[in-house]
Amino acid sequence: MSNSDLKNINVAKFGGTSVANFGAMENCANIVKNNSTTRVVVVSASAGVTNLLVDIANTAMSKEQIRQRLADIEAIQYAIVADLENTDEVVDKLEQLLTSLTDLALHEEIIHRADLKDALLSHGERMSSLLFSQVLKQVGVVAENFDVRNVLKTDNQFGKATPDLEQIKTATQSIMQPSLANTVFVTQGFIGSDADGNTTTLGRGGSDFTAALLAEALDAATCEIWTDVIGVYTTDPRITDAARPLPELSFEEAAEMATFGAKVLHPATMEPALRQNIKVFVGSSREPEKGGTWIVKDCETEPAYRAITRRKEQVMVTVKTPKMMYAQGFLQKVFTIIAKHKLSVDLITTSEICVSFTLDNPANSVLERLNQATIEELGQFCEVLVEENYDLVTVVGNNMHSAAGVSSKIFAAVADYNLRMICYGANPHNLSVLVSDKDSSDVVCALHDALFA
Ligand code: ADP
Ligand code: ASP
Ligand code: MG
Q: Which range (145-149, 349-353, 389-393) has the least confidence? A: 349-353
Q: What pLDDT score does 365 carry?
A: 56
Return the best residue to mutate from 19, 50, 200 for the ligand 2 pocket (most ligand atoms within 8 A of CB).
50
Q: Is the pLDDT of residue 364 over 60?
A: no
> Could you tell me the distance, in angstroms and rounded to a whole number, from the CA of residue 372 to the centre of ligand 2?
30
Average pLDDT of the segment spanning 60-82: 97
CA angle 241, 47, 206 (to 5 degrees): 90
> Could you tell me the distance, in angstroms and rounded to a whole number, from the CA of residue 341 to the centre of ligand 1?
30
Residue 226: partners with Cβ closer than 8 Å, 6 or more residues away: 12, 13, 14, 15, 18, 28, 31, 283, 284, 285, 288
In this structure, the residue with its CA closest to atom 5 of ligand 1 is 264
297 ligand 1 Cβ < 6 A: no
Q: What pLDDT score does 326 carry?
A: 59
Which ligand is nearest the CA of 210, by number? Answer: 2
207 ligand 2 Cβ < 6 A: yes
Q: What pLDDT score does 426 carry?
A: 79
Integer Cα distance of 386 and 451 in angstroms = 33
Q: Is the pLDDT of residue 325 over 70?
A: no
Integer Cα distance of 429 and 253 in angstroms = 7
> Could you tell me the distance, in angstroms and rounded to a whole number, from the CA of residue 438 to the centre of ligand 1?
21
236 ligand 1 Cβ < 6 A: yes
Residue 261 Rama label (left phi>0; alpha psi -120 to 50; beta) = left
User: Residue 359's pLDDT band (boundaries 50, 70, 90)?
Assistant: confident
User: Residue 367's pLDDT band (boundaries 50, 70, 90)?
Assistant: low
Is residue 203 within 8 Å of residue 363, measured between CB atoms?
Answer: yes
Q: 335-338: list long-range contacts, CB under 8 Å, 24+ apart.
A: 337/374, 337/377, 337/378, 338/374
Residue 205 Rama label (left phi>0; alpha psi -120 to 50; beta) = left
Q: Which ligand 2 atom is nearest residue 15's CA?
A: 7
Short-list 191, 215, 290, CA closest to 38: 215
Over residues 207-217, the pLDDT tens digits come to 999 999 999 99
Integer Cα distance of 289 and 92 in angstroms = 36
Q: Is the pLDDT of residue 1 over 70?
A: no
Return the best residue to mutate from 264, 280, 392 for the ligand 1 pocket (most ligand atoms within 8 A of CB).
264
> Could you tell me the distance, in angstroms and rounded to a whole number, from the CA of residue 24 to the centre of ligand 1?
17
Integer Cα distance of 153 and 162 in angstroms = 9
- Give strand pairing partners of 182: none
192 ligand 2 Cβ < 6 A: no
Distances in Å between the alpha carbon of 310 and those of 257, 306, 315?
9, 14, 14
Phi, psi of 396 (to 5 degrees): -105, 135
Integer Cα distance of 259 and 32 in angstroms = 29
Q: Is the pLDDT of residue 238 over 90?
A: yes
Q: What pLDDT score does 342 carry?
A: 78
Is residue 37 within 8 Å of residue 5, measured between CB atoms?
Answer: yes
Q: Give CA 447 to chain center in angstroms.
A: 25
Which ligand is nearest the CA of 310, by number? Answer: 1
Q: Which ligand 1 atom is nearest residue 232's CA?
A: 24
Integer Cα distance of 18 and 284 in angstroms = 8
Average pLDDT of the segment spanning 85-92: 93
Return the best residue to mutate from 210, 229, 235 for the ligand 1 pocket (most ligand atoms within 8 A of CB).
229
List the shell of residues around ion ligand 3, using CB closer than 5 Å.
15, 205
Is residue 112 within 8 Å of residue 141, measured between CB atoms?
Answer: no
Q: Is the pLDDT of residue 324 over 80?
A: no
Integer Cα distance of 449 and 305 in angstroms = 12
232 ligand 1 Cβ < 6 A: yes
> Could you tell me the distance, in angstroms and rounded to a whole number, from the CA of residue 72 to the centre of ligand 2?
17
Q: What pLDDT score does 56 carry?
A: 97
Phi, psi of 31 (to 5 degrees): -65, -40
229 ligand 1 Cβ < 6 A: yes
In this structure, the residue with its CA closest to atom 5 of ligand 2 is 205
Question: Exposed (0-12), middle (13-18) or buried (19+): which is 196, by Cβ within 10 Å?
Answer: exposed
- Give strand pairing partners of 356: 318, 349
Over residues 269-290, the pLDDT tens digits come to 999 999 999 999 999 999 999 9
Return the best residue to mutate from 13, 51, 123, 207 for the ligand 2 pocket (most ligand atoms within 8 A of CB).
207
Short-list 290, 286, 291, 306, CA closest to 235: 306
> Could you tell me the distance, in angstroms and rounded to a whole number, from the CA of residue 415 to the centre of ligand 1?
28
Average pLDDT of the segment spanning 31-44: 98
Q: Is the pLDDT of residue 107 over 70?
A: yes
Q: What pLDDT score does 402 carry?
A: 83
Residue 348: partners with Cβ closer than 8 Å, 6 or more residues away: 355, 356, 357
Integer Cα distance of 369 and 343 in angstroms = 7
Q: What pLDDT score does 344 carry?
A: 78
> Could you tell me the distance, in angstroms and rounded to a whole number, from the CA of residue 59 to the centre of ligand 3?
23
Q: What pLDDT score does 353 carry?
A: 79
Average pLDDT of the segment spanning 165-176: 98
Q: What pLDDT score does 321 carry?
A: 83
Integer Cα distance of 317 and 179 in angstroms = 52
Residue 357 or residue 187, greater confidence: 187
In this structure, the residue with its CA closest to atom 1 of ligand 1 is 15
Q: Which range (185-189, 230-234, 350-354, 429-433) has the least confidence? A: 350-354
pLDDT above 70: percentage of residues in the chain = 96
Q: What pLDDT score does 4 carry?
A: 56
Average pLDDT of the segment spanning 185-195: 98
